[in-house]
Amino acid sequence: MAFAGFPSRLPQVGTTIFTVMSQLAAEHGAINLSQGFPDFAPPPRLLQRVADHMAAGRNQYALMAGALPLCEAIAAKVESLYGARYDGDSEITVTAGATQGIYTAIAACVRPGDEVVVFAPVYDSYVPAIELNGGKAVFATLRFPDYRPDWDEVRALVGPRTRMIVVNTPYNPSGAVWSAADLAALEAVVRDTGVVVLADEVYEHMVFDGARHESVARYPALAERSFVVSSFGKTYHITGWKVAYCLAPRQLMAEFRKAHQFIVFAVNQPAQLALADFMREDPGFATGLADFYRGKRDFLRMELAGSRFEALPCVGTYFQLARYDAISDEPDTAFAQRLTREHGVAAIPVSVFYPGGDDHRVLRFCFAKTDETLAAAGRRLRNL
Same domain, 319 and 253: no
HEC secondary structure over 275-335:
HHHHHHHCCHHHHCHHHHHHHHHHHHHHHHHCCCCEECCCCECCEEEEECCCCCCCCHHHH
**pLDDT of amino acid 151:** 98
Query: In angstroms, how far is CA 298 from the centroid of its own chain?
Result: 21
Whole-prediction pTM value?
Answer: 0.96
From 233, 257, 281, the end of a domain falls on 281
Same domain, 277 and 319: no
Same domain, 162 and 242: yes
Same domain, 83 and 24: no
Cα–Cα distance, 102 to 84 (Å, whole number)? 21
Q: Which of 175, 240, 183, 241 is nearest to 208 (CA)?
A: 175
Rg (CA), the chain: 21
**pLDDT of amino acid 4:** 64
Cα–Cα distance, 141 to 320 (Å, whole number)? 20
Same domain, 217 and 349: no
The CATH number of whichever domain residue 164 belongs to comes to: 3.40.640.10
**pLDDT of amino acid 1:** 45
DSSP annotation of 31: E
**pLDDT of amino acid 2:** 58
Q: Which of 129, 130, 156, 131 is nearest to 141 (CA)?
A: 156
**pLDDT of amino acid 18:** 86
Is residue 55 assigned to a domain? yes
Is residue 1 assigned to a domain? no
For residue 36, give the amino acid letter: G
Task: For the chain, 384 residues long, give each residue's pLDDT as a single digit of tens.
Answer: 455 677 888 988 888 888 889 999 999 999 999 989 999 999 999 999 999 999 999 999 999 999 999 999 999 999 999 999 999 999 999 999 999 999 999 999 999 999 999 999 999 999 999 999 999 999 999 999 999 999 999 999 999 999 999 999 999 999 999 999 999 999 999 999 999 999 999 999 999 999 999 999 999 999 999 999 999 999 999 999 999 999 999 999 999 999 999 999 999 999 999 999 999 999 999 999 999 999 999 999 999 999 999 999 999 999 999 999 999 999 999 999 999 999 999 999 999 999 999 999 999 999 999 999 999 999 999 999
From 233, 250, 281, the end of a domain falls on 281
Is residue 146 assigned to a domain? yes
Domain that holds residue 120: 44-281
| Contact call for residues 198 and 99 (beta carbons, < 8 A) | no
Q: Please give the order of strands across the beta sheet that includes 136-141.
A: 92-95, 244-247, 226-231, 196-200, 162-168, 115-120, 136-141
Same domain, 376 and 316: yes
Same domain, 49 and 38: no
Is residue 10 assigned to a domain? no
Is residue 3 assigned to a domain? no
Burial 118-136 (b: 16+ CB within 10 A, else e): bbbbbbbbbbbbbbebebe
The CATH number of whichever domain residue 377 belongs to comes to: 3.90.1150.10
Query: In this structure, which long-range contacts are made by residues 80-84, counting pairs with CB atoms below 8 Å and at least 24 apart in sequence?
Result: 80/283, 81/215, 82/215, 82/217, 82/218, 83/218, 84/215, 84/217, 84/218, 84/220, 84/223, 84/247
**Helix, strand, or coil here: 139?**
strand
DSSP annotation of 125: T
Is residue 7 assigned to a domain? no
